[in-house]
Chain A
Amino acid sequence: MHRGPFALIACALAVVGCGDYTAPSEVVNGTAVASLQATGANFSQYKTFTVTNTIQVTDNSGTTSEQYTMDVPQIVDQVKSNMTNLGYTYVPFSSGVQADLVIGLYAYKGSQSYGGYYCGYWYWGYYPYNCAWSYYGTYTFGTLVLRMADFKNAPMPASPSDKLTLVWGSAIYGVLAQPYTLQRVLAGIDTAFAQSPYLKKQ
């Protein structure tokens, strides 16, 4: 007898209940840049730096030991240029290099299923905040990670598995995945340093 309300409910549900549960492409294919400093880091004490001339690939299975090769010289130069502009003196990278800061570059590439957490995977678990984030869907991801280690006060690691004393790090999400452009990678590096004003030498 009182079918009016229920018919209207059905119509309202049909009208308002659809769409927009996935992020727009400009977000999915955009670049997110995280920059983090270690608690108590004092950057005024550092004068020289170097940048590794290779980019180590790490995939989500943890079994890949290959090197990332695409546009590596330009990527390294962009890091070098930003550090130099901040007032640090560049020291060419070589085995056993003596520099206050060593910046290592890493490429996190692979695919991840929906809900797979990435906790503790980058920065060697140094920043537990990232436990809250996970990769979305079955996803091919490509993240460029910069790690800045203190070699002025901390000893050179005896083996690659030893932990470094990290003072700064940045993760530039999405730039090594498709759609890939070098400009996007370089812009991400600029953003990583621009949003870390405490790195600038006085």
Chain B
Amino acid sequence: MKSHLVRITVASVALVLASSARAQYDQYQRPNLDGFSLGQTLLIVNWEISKPVGGFHDYISDWSLRGFSTEARYKIRQNISVGASFSWNRFNQTFNNLTINIPGGVISGPVYRYFDMFAIRGIAHYYFMDGPIQPYAGFGIGGNWAYAFQQTADLINSQSGFFFIVDPEVGVLVQLMSGRTSLDLNIAFRYTYSTADAGKQPEIHVISPIVGLAWSF
């Protein structure tokens, strides 16, 4: 009987110690698979590839590989975040020979055009799922400073100003690494509308596949 009691005591102590060790292992080693969570901040750096569409396509039709954005999001609810973003996109194209209608006639020749857009927006996102993979939809609204430039031979023309911008997007956060700071892959697709004018185009339409890295903490 005494021997049996000793065995039970030893087994209990061993069990308690094992549980404690497991708890410590859980605390420090087990991956946090919650993804971007309530009360956390998410910082994102994106590379943006952009394609002019609509009337803006008539101004510049080439894809732009020059663009980036930064975002800061904060989860105010488990499935909603708010924040701010800054982005820069640059478009340029050279035309060997363009004929452009002007009042009373035409002008023709080789033409170089570029368009710069610096935007700052407030952003909000809704997340459809919790966990390491979080698809989302969101939008940004704010202002952008835009500069459009055209040159043919020794003549130039330009337009610039501060304009309204709005851009809905869909995307997904995929957790790559976790810890006190987690790393996610951000993949998104954005449509941008701006009241900026470029040449004779009175507004800007752009679609942008986006890829970036996101840190949450």
Contacts and interface: CB of A to CB of B under 8 A. Distances in A.
A33 B105 CA distance: 11
23 contacts: A9-B68, A9-B70, A12-B45, A12-B68, A16-B65, A17-B88, A26-B96, A27-B94, A27-B110, A28-B154, A30-B110, A31-B153, A32-B107, A32-B109, A32-B153, A33-B109, A36-B104, A37-B105, A38-B104, A136-B151, A141-B154, A174-B154, A195-B108
A133 B96 CA distance: 20
A161 B34 CA distance: 83
Contacts of A132: 157
A20 B90 CA distance: 10
Nearest to B217: A2
B111 A129 contact: no
4 residue pairs, one from A and one from B, having the closest CB atoms: A32-B109, A36-B105, A23-B112, A30-B110
Interface in A68-94: none
B156 A30 contact: no
B173 to A, nearest CB: 15
B156 to A, nearest CB: 4
A28 B109 CA distance: 10
Interface string A58-75: 000000000000000000
A190 B99 CA distance: 15
Interface string A1-42: 110110011001100110011011011111111111111000
Interface residues of A, number: 43
Contacts of A23: 94, 112, 151
B130 to A, nearest CB: 23
A135 B102 contact: no
Nearest to A169: B105
Contacts of B99: 195
A133 B43 CA distance: 43
Contacts of B106: 34-35, 195
Nearest to A132: B157
Contact of A139 (B104, B154, B217): B154
B36 interface: no
Interface string B149-170: 0011111110000000000000
Contact of A5 (B70, B112, B155): B70
Best-buried of B44, B108, B111 by chain A (most CB within 10 Å): B108
Interface in A156-193: 173-174, 177, 191
Nearest to A171: B107
A77 to B, nearest CB: 23
Interface in B92-150: 92, 94, 96, 99, 102-112, 114
B52 interface: no
B68 A136 contact: no
A33 B155 CA distance: 11
Contacts of B103: 36, 127, 129
